[in-house]
Amino acid sequence: MTPKKRRRLAFAISLLVAGAGAAALVVYALQDNVLYFYSPSDVAAKHIAPGVAFRIGGLVEKNSVRHGKGAAISFMVTDGRTRVPVAYAGVLPALFREGQGVVAMGAMDGAGTFDASEILAKHDERYMPPEVVDALKRSGRWKEGK
Amino acid sequence: MTGEIGQLALCLALALACVQAAAGLWGLKDERAAGVASGAALGMFVFVALSFGALVVGFVTSDFSIADVANNSHTLKPLIYKITGVWGNHEGSMLLWVLVLSVYGAGIAFLKRGGLRLTSAALGVQGLLAVAFILFILLTSNPFARLDPMPFEGLGLNPLLQDPGLAFHPPTLYTGYVGLSATFAYAAAALLTGDVDRAWARAARPFMLIAWIALTLGIAGGSWWAYYDLGWGGFWFWDPVENASLMPWLVATALLHSALATERTGAFRTWTLLLSIMAFSLSLIGTFLVRSGVITSVHAFASDPKRGVFILLILSVAILGALALFAWRAPKLESGTAFEPTSRETTLLVNNIFLVTALGVVFVGTIYPIILSAFGTRLSVGAPYFQLFFAPIFIALMIVLPFGPRLAWRRGDLLAAFRTLLPALGVAAVAGVIVLAAASPRTLVGAGAFAVAGWVIGASAVDLVARVRARTFAIAGFAAVLAHAGLGITLMGVAGTNLWRSEALEVLAPGETMTVGRYTLRFDGVKGVAGPNYQAAHADIDILKDGAVTGHLAPERRMYPAEGQETVQTAIRTTGLEDLYVALGDDRGQGRWTLRAYVNPLAPLIWLGAGVMALGGLASLWGRVRAMFFAQDKEPAALAPEAV
pLDDT digits (tens, 9 = 90+) for B482-527: 999 999 999 999 999 999 999 998 999 999 999 998 899 999 999 9
CA B82-B95-B153 angle, to 5 degrees, is 35
| B382, B583, B588 member nearest A35 (Cβ) | B382
Give the residue among B295, B452, B268 at the shortest CA–CA distance from B368: B295
Is the pLDDT at B565 greater than 80? The verdict is no
Domain limit, last residue, from B141, B162, B183: B162
Window 9-68 of A, Cβ < 8 Å to B: 22, 26-27, 29-30, 32-37, 53, 55, 67
Average pLDDT over residues B270-298: 84
Residue B541 pLDDT level (bands cut at 50, 70, 90)? very high
Q: Which of A92, A125, A131 sits opposite B586 (nearest CB)?
A: A92
Q: Which of residues 459-498 of B touch A (CB under 8 A)?
A: none
Of B360, B379, B507, the CB nearest to A34: B379
**Which residues on neighbouring strands pair with residue A66, listed in sequence order?**
A74
Higher pLDDT pick, B509 / B330: B509
Distance from CA of A137 to the nearest CA of B (A): 13
Tell if the CB–CB gap between B296 and A123 is shorter than 8 Å: no
Number of domains in chain B: 2
Smallest CA-to-CA distance from B186 within B289, B325, B48 is with: B325
The confidence score (pLDDT) of residue A145 equals: 42
Closest to B32 measured CA to CA, from B106, B117, B113 = B117
Q: Are the beta carbons of A91 and B369 separated by less than 8 Å?
A: no
- What is residue B617's predicted lDDT score, i.e. its pLDDT? 96
Q: Quick check: B506 and A71 CB within 8 A?
A: yes
Structural domain that includes position B62: 1-162
Is residue A48 very low, low, confident or very high in pLDDT (cuts 50, 70, 90)? confident
Report yes or no: B158 at the A interface, CB cutoff 8 Å.
yes
Q: Quick check: bond before A130 cis, omega within 30?
A: no
Which of B292-301, B330-339, B500-509 has the highest mean predicted lDDT (pLDDT)? Answer: B500-509
Domain finish residue from B162, B195, B212: B162
CA angle B444, B445, B447 (to 5 degrees): 60
pLDDT of residue B590: 87
Which residue(s) pair with B574 in the sheet?
Answer: B579
Q: Is the pLDDT of residue B632 over 80?
A: no
Chain A's closest residue to B293, CA to CA, is A130
Confidence of residue B552 (pLDDT cuts 50, 70, 90): very high
DSSP string, B569-612: E-EEEE-SSEEEEEEEEEE-STT-EEEEEEEEETHHHHHHHHHH
What is the residue-wise DSSP string for B426-462?
HHHHHHHHHHHHH-SS--HHHHHHHHHHHHHHHHHHH
Q: Is the pLDDT of residue B639 over 50?
A: no
Mutation site, A7, A39, A123, A137, interface B, largest B CB count within 10 A: A123
- Chain A residues close to B158, C-beta within 8 Å: 123-124
Which ranges of B141-266 would DSSP assign to H, the alpha helix? 165-193, 198-230, 240-265
Determine contact: B298 vs chain A, CB below 8 A: yes
- Burial tier of B549 (Cβ tally within 10 Å: 0-12, 13-18, 19+): exposed
In chain B, which residue's Cα lies nearest the Cα of A90?
Answer: B505
Least confident span in A11-20, B33-42, B617-626: A11-20
Query: Is-cis flag, bond preceding B149, omega within 30?
Result: yes
Q: What is the pLDDT of residue A146?
A: 37
Residue B636's pLDDT band, with cuts at 50, 70 and 90, is: low
pLDDT score for B15? 97
Q: Does B396 touch chain A (CB under 8 A)?
A: no
Give the model's confidence band at A57: pLDDT under 50 very low, under 70 low, under 90 confident, else very high. confident
Among the partner residues A22, A67, A96, nearest to B360 by beta-carbon distance:
A22
Q: Is the pLDDT of residue B188 over 80?
A: yes
Q: Do A34 and B369 touch (CB under 8 A)?
A: yes
Q: Per-residue confidence at B539, pLDDT binned at 50, 70, 90?
A: very high
- Given a cut of 60, whether residue B359 has pLDDT beyond it is yes
**Interface touch A94/B557, C-beta < 8 Å:** yes
Exposed e or buried b per residue across B91-110, where buried means at least 16 C-beta atoms within 10 angstroms of its C-beta: bbbbbbbbbbbbbbbbbbbe
**Is there a domain that residue B548 lies in?**
yes
Q: Which residues of A touch B557 (CB under 8 A)?
A: 94
Q: Which residue of A has its CA nearest to B231?
A: A91
In a domain, B637, yes or no: no
**pLDDT value at B368 more than 70:** yes
Mean pLDDT of B174-192: 95
The mean pLDDT value for B157-186 works out to 91
Structure confidence at residue B475 (pLDDT): 87
Smallest Cα–Cα separation from B349: which of B274, B418, B271? B271
Last residue of a domain, one of B106, B134, B162: B162
Q: Do B594 and A37 touch (CB under 8 A)?
A: no
Query: Residue type for B263, please?
Result: E
Residue B637: pLDDT over 50: no
Report H helices in B336-421.
Answer: 344-374, 383-400, 403-406, 414-420
Check: CB of residue B61 under 8 Å from CB of residue B82. Answer: no
Q: What is the pLDDT of residue B211?
A: 97
Residue contact B385–A29, C-beta within 8 A: yes
Residue B437 within a domain: no
Share of chain A above pLDDT 70, in %: 82
pLDDT at B283 exceeding the cut of 90? yes
State chain B's mean pLDDT as an integer: 90
pLDDT value for A79: 86
Domain membership of residue B56 (yes or no) is yes
Q: How confident is the model at residue B635 (pLDDT cuts 50, 70, 90)?
A: low
Phi, psi of B419 (to 5 degrees): -60, -40
pTM score, two decimals?
0.91
- Whether pLDDT at A125 is above 90: no
Most A CBs within 10 Å, among B72, B335, B507, to test the A interface: B507
Under an 8 A CB cutoff, do A37 and B368 touch? Answer: no
Chain B nearest-CA distance from A111, in A, is: 25
Of the pLDDT bands very low, low, confident and very high (cuts 50, 70, 90), residue B194 is: confident
Q: What pLDDT does B550 receive? A: 92
Span B130-158, mean pLDDT? 91
Lowest mean pLDDT among A140-144, B237-241, B368-372: A140-144
Average the pLDDT over each of A125-139, B363-377, B470-484 and give the range with the smallest value. Answer: A125-139
Q: Which of B107-121, B397-411, B473-487, B623-637 has the lowest mean pLDDT?
A: B623-637
Q: What span, in angstroms and rounded, lies between the C-alpha atoms of A138 and A144?
A: 13
For the segment B404-415, the average pLDDT, to the nearest whole number, is 88
- Asked whether the predicted pLDDT for residue B114 surpasses 50, the reply is yes
Residues B164-193 have a mean pLDDT of 94
A130 Cα to chain B: minimum distance (Å)? 8
> Is the predicted pLDDT of residue B644 greater than 50, yes or no?
no
Candidates A54, A122, A124, A131: best to mutate against B (most CBs of B within 10 A) is A124
CB pairs A-B closer than 8 Å: 90
User: B397 vs B33, B174, B357, CA distance in Å?
Assistant: 45, 27, 11
Mean pLDDT on B468-489: 92
